[in-house]
Amino acid sequence: MKKRIFPSLLLLSVALFVLVGCQRPMGKSFTIGEGSFLLDGKPFVVKAGEVHFPRIPREYWEHRIQMVKAQGMNTVCIYVFWNFHEPQPDQFCFEGQADVRAFVKLCQKHGLYVIVRPGPYCCAEWEMGGLPWWLLKKEDIKLRSLDPYFMERVRKFEAALAGQLADLQLSKGGPIIMVQVENEFGGYGTDKPYVSAVRDVLREVGWTDVPLFQCDWSSNFEQNALDDLLWTMNFGTGSNIDSQFRRLKQLRPTTPLMCSEFWSGWFDNWGRAHETRDAKDMVAGLREMLEKNISFSLYMVHGGTSFGHWAGANSPGYQPDCTSYDYDAPISEAGHPTPKFDELRAMLQQFSDKALPPVPAMYPVISFPKVELTEFAPIAYGCGGLCTTENQNNLTFEYNNLGWGSMYYITRLPEVPVPSTLTLDAHDYAQVFINDRFVGRLDRRVRETTLTLPPTREGDVLRILVEATGRINYGRAIKDFKGIVGDVTLHYADETVTISGWERYPIPDDYGQALSALDGFSGRRVDEYHEGFADEVKIFGTRGYYRGTFNVSAVGDTWLDMSSWGKGQAYVNGHAIGRFWEIGPQQTLYVPGCWLKRGQNEIVVLDVIGPQASVIEGLDHPILDNLRQPTPVITPQDGETWQGDGPGAVWQGDGPGAMK
Catalytic sites, residue numbers? 184, 261
Distance of alpha carbon 224 from alpha carbon 185, whole angstroms: 7
Angle between helices 148-165 and 100-109 (to 10 degrees): 40
DSSP character for 570?
Answer: E
Cis peptide upstream of residue 118 (ω within 30 degrees of 0): no
Quick one: which of 388, 383, 429, 392 has its CA closest to 411? 392
CA 55 to chain CA centroid, nearest Å: 8
Q: Does residue 322 sit in helix, strand or coil? A: coil
Query: Are the beta carbons of 120 and 162 closer than 8 angstroms?
Result: no
Q: Assign 3-class secondary structure to 203-222.
A: HHCCCCCCCEEEEECCCCHH
Quick one: which of 66, 48, 137, 166 has its CA closest to 107? 66
CA 535 to chain CA centroid, nearest Å: 39
Quick one: which of 219, 221, 161, 143 has its CA closest to 472? 143
Distance of alpha carbon 328 from alpha carbon 343, whole angstroms: 14
Query: Are the beta carbons of 60 and 352 closer than 8 angstroms?
Result: no
Query: 379 to each of 157, 519, 607, how far by Cα in Å?
Result: 36, 13, 8
Distance of alpha carbon 350 from alpha carbon 467, whole angstroms: 51
Residues whose CB falls within 8 Å of the CB of residue 164, separated by 6 or more in sequence, listed in order: 94, 100, 101
Q: What share of the chain is helix, strand, coil (3-state, %, to 5)?
A: 25, 30, 45
Query: Are the beta carbons of 471 and 478 closer than 8 angstroms?
Result: yes
Radius of gyration of the CA atoms of the chain, in A: 26
DSSP character for 653?
Answer: S
Distance of alpha carbon 156 from alpha carbon 204, whole angstroms: 11
Strands (E), 108-219: 113-117, 176-180, 212-216
Burial of 541 (0-12, 13-18, 19+ CB in 10 A): middle
